[in-house]
Amino acid sequence: MTQTKTVSTRIDNNVHNLFTDYCNHQGVTMSQMLNQFVNDVVTQNKDLIDSSQCSIDSDEGKEPTKPQIFSQVTPLEEELKQLQNKNIRVMRVQELNQNFAKHIDELKQAIQNLKTNMDKKLEEDRMKKGMDCFTNDSCFTL
What would the pLDDT profile of 98-122 be if each residue is shown by its tens digit? 888 999 999 999 999 999 999 999 9
Mean pLDDT over residues 38-42, rounded?
A: 85
Residue 49 scores a pLDDT above 80: no
The residues, any chain, with a CB within 8 Å of residue 7's CB and separated by 6 or more, are 34, 38
pTM for the whole thing? 0.38
- How close are the terminal C-alpha atoms of the chain, in Å? 116
